[in-house]
Amino acid sequence: MGARKISRLLFNIYVAVFLAYMLLPLVIMGGAALNDSRFPSVYPWVGFTDRWFVELWEDGRMWVAFRNTIGVALAVVAMAVPIGTAAAILINSVGGTARSALYGFMIAPILTPGAVIGISTLLFWNKFSVPAGLHLSAIGQTSYIAAFVMLLVLARLQSFDRALEEAALDLGASHAQVVRRILLPHLYPAIGAGAAIAFFQSVENFNTTLFTRGTYDTLTVYVFSRVRSGITPTINALALILVTITIIGALWYEIARRRRQAHFDASAAQARREEEAEALPVAVAAQ
Amino acid sequence: MSELLRRYGAPLTATFAALTAFWLLALVVLPYLYLFENSFRPYLPVVDVGGPKDVYSLDNYLTFFESPIHIKVFFWTIIYSSIVTVLCFAIAYPLAYYLSKVAKSAVVPTLFLLLLIPLWVSEILRSFAWFIILALKGPLNYGLLGLGIIDQPVRWLSGFRSIIIGLVYTYVLFMLFPLYNAIQSLDTNQIEAAEDLGSPWWRTHWRVILPHSKPGIASGAVTVFMLSAGSILVPTLLASTTSRWFTEIIQQWMFESQDWNTGSAYAFLLMLLCTVFVTVMMRVFRVSLADIAK
């Protein structure tokens, strides 16, 4: 018993250290945004300031990059979600070697470095005289982000009862109705998750964007060029805003989950009580 | 295919097929093939493209094999990416085991939520954070000096040390999650049976848990290696002039020399490296592509 306790203690220490390792760098980076020092640092602490936020707000280039990022991300969602969903439905209905070959091609972009995707997209579209720009960034990102959507939807399809489609067809539903009323509603959670992942993957993307963007900026490229050419804590201000948004999102998600869990527990307890209440007279009658 | 036609009818099936074909052909296969083809062509002024000088040759690859520096950087990239992969595994394995078998199930979602925060913060900010921490007058040096562990500030941002630190921090979670999934699927009774039969803890891990988590190890290793070898941000932000990464040379060809053909030859070499790594992992761990993609 003693050994087990020690091992649990060691594990707890390890988890605490790991969490600190993951989160402290973000705290330090965010803290530097509030320090009135020319170079981003938390030590020595010069004094509290909001000037880096003001400077960030007044930076026109940042706003352009911000709009570009959102535009590209929306374009990626608009392309990757239909493509990934269609590909998942298609691959789910083929078998054998055709399936493994198709699957291989669909997974390939996930296992390819972003730089290679970027360069091949740039070269390929250049052949058709399509110049580099944000449209190519969106196309390049879609090539691998569609694979994430495909995997999510394919996983969801595993729990789909195909007999429902059969029944609908037998009852005279049209093909379009089968898809709209039966297949898609079952897939919505996966499609929603896919859209969210596509959006955030696109916002995060740097490697593919770097080679395809032409002269346009996205947020990651903007941060990158600011870091390389004379760093100021405005980047930390941006980082602090992004980290804060992330944490708020995470908290919101956690609260919603707890509430769902509590609701689920309560209704499960309720159901158990009702079951017992129903079983009681039967038990009495049996005696 | 006929199954699809029967369920969804010709127009919808055609739409599904067209979308998939557009993706796989226009966005994946043809661009890759075109990259491959371009890597054998010379870099020419626009007027000469398609002219008599535009012939296939191995010149772009010879440029690589005749440059000792580029070969060295290529191997450094392989070696240090492998080291990063092993380190990530060593750090992530105990945690993955804890999360899936030791921790109380009530705290696991909260822990995951905390772990997901750095994952949602973009890669560039994660490397930027270490840029600040590792600076000569940064918090790490002040902290270590204050604790009396070192008596002079350490120049962290030199050599491959800072790249390894940055890459491990940035990608360790990509090892943790597949490992967690793999260990999670192991029946806890098997661990208890091993313990009841007198197996010491290390043998239980070696003979029961590790073999079961092979698909997770393969998946995590492939992801971490590929992301590390292909990383542009971490090496550019955290490296010095003495430590160069293969992607930096690709960038040089593409942007500074504007030589897209040699650039594509180098990009193809990087892609080849990752493909070989995936194949080796699949062989070593005897897993399929579907296991890795999970």
pLDDT one-digit tens code per residue, B65-116: 999 999 999 999 999 999 999 999 999 999 999 998 888 888 888 888 888 8
- Do the domain assignments include residue B253? yes
Q: Indicate whether B197 pLDDT > 70.
A: yes
Query: Residue A187 has what pLDDT?
Result: 93
Which ipTM was obtained for this model?
0.89
Question: Average pLDDT for residues B153-176, to the nearest whole number?
Answer: 89
Interface mutation target, options B173, B271, B282, chain A, most CBs of A under 10 Å: B271
Q: Indicate whether B196 pLDDT > 90.
A: no
- Do the domain assignments include residue B168? yes
Domain boundaries, chain A: 8-49+233-287, 53-232
* Cβ contact, residue pair A8, B263, below 8 Å: no
Query: Residue A245 has what pLDDT?
Result: 85
pLDDT digits (tens, 9 = 90+) for A91-140: 998 888 889 899 999 999 999 999 999 999 999 999 898 999 999 999 99
Domain count, chain B: 1
CB contacts under 8 A, B 142-201 vs A, are: 142, 169, 173, 201
Q: How many CB atoms lie within 10 A of CB A188?
A: 10
With CA atoms as reference, the chain A residue closest to B278 would be: A111
* Least Cα separation, residue A248 to chain B (angstroms): 10
Considering only CB atoms, A123 lies closest to which of B110, B264, B274, namely B264
Q: Indicate whether B134 pLDDT > 90.
A: no
- A249 versus A158: the higher-pLDDT residue is A158
pLDDT tier for residue A147 given thresholds of 50, 70 and 90: very high
B100 Cα distance to chain centroid: 24
Query: Residue A118 has what pLDDT?
Result: 95
Q: Indicate whether A285 pLDDT > 60.
A: no
Query: Residue B231 has what pLDDT?
Result: 93
Measured between alpha carbons, how far is B285 from A198 in angstroms, rounded to an integer? 30
* Least Cα separation, residue B77 to chain A (angstroms): 13
Query: Residue A124 has what pLDDT?
Result: 94
Measured between alpha carbons, how far is A22 from B100 in angstroms, rounded to an integer? 19
Measured between alpha carbons, how far is B247 from B259 in angstroms, rounded to an integer? 15
Q: Indicate whether B290 pLDDT > 70.
A: yes
Query: Residue B47 has what pLDDT?
Result: 72
Interface mutation target, options A17, A21, A29, chain B, most CBs of B under 10 Å: A29
Which pair of tokens denotes residue B194?
């091993």
Amino acid letter, residue A251: L
- Do the domain assignments include residue B48? no
Considering only CB atoms, B12 lies closest to which of A41, A123, A175, namely A175
Q: Which residues, in sequence order, are CB contacts of A186 under 8 Å at separation 6+?
A: A156, A160
* Cβ contact, residue pair B95, A29, below 8 Å: no
With CA atoms as reference, the chain A residue closest to B246 would be: A115
| CATH number for the domain harbouring residue B228 | 1.10.3720.10
| B16 reaches A (C-beta below 8 A) | yes
With CA atoms as reference, the chain A residue closest to B263 would be: A119
Q: pTM for the full model? A: 0.89
* Least Cα separation, residue A94 to chain B (angstroms): 6
* Least Cα separation, residue B105 to chain A (angstroms): 13
Question: Average pLDDT for residues A229-247, to the nearest whole number?
Answer: 84
Q: Indicate whether A286 pLDDT > 60.
A: no
* Least Cα separation, residue B291 to chain A (angstroms): 11
| B75 reaches A (C-beta below 8 A) | no
CB contacts under 8 A, B 210-269 vs A, are: 222, 226-227, 229-233, 236-237, 247, 250-251, 254, 260, 263-264, 267-268
pLDDT digits (tens, 9 = 90+) for A66-84: 999 999 999 999 999 999 9
pLDDT digits (tens, 9 = 90+) for A27-77: 888 888 888 877 777 777 778 888 888 888 888 889 999 999 999 999 999
pLDDT tier for residue B31 given thresholds of 50, 70 and 90: very high
* Cβ contact, residue pair A113, B263, below 8 Å: no
Average pLDDT in chain A: 87
Q: Indicate whether A284 pLDDT > 60.
A: no
Q: Indicate whether A283 pLDDT > 70.
A: no
Task: Please give the CATH superfamily to which domain A53-232 belongs.
Answer: MetI-like (1.10.3720.10)
Cβ neighbours of B201 in A, within 8 Å = 7
Query: Residue B110 has what pLDDT?
Result: 85
Question: Average pLDDT for residues A216-231, to the nearest whole number?
Answer: 86
- Do the domain assignments include residue B77? yes
* Least Cα separation, residue A271 to chain B (angstroms): 22
pLDDT digits (tens, 9 = 90+) for A149-159: 999 999 999 98
Query: Residue A52 has what pLDDT?
Result: 87
pLDDT digits (tens, 9 = 90+) for B208-260: 889 999 999 999 999 999 999 999 999 988 887 777 899 999 999 998 888 88
CB pairs under 8 A between A and B: 251
The maximal CA–CA distance of chain B, rounded, in angstroms, is 78
First to last CA, chain B: 25
Question: Domain range holding B256?
Answer: 67-293
From residue B47, how far is each of A52, A220, B44, B51 by CA, in Å?
50, 36, 8, 8
Cβ neighbours of B8 in A, within 8 Å = 175, 178-179
pLDDT tier for residue B264 given thresholds of 50, 70 and 90: very high
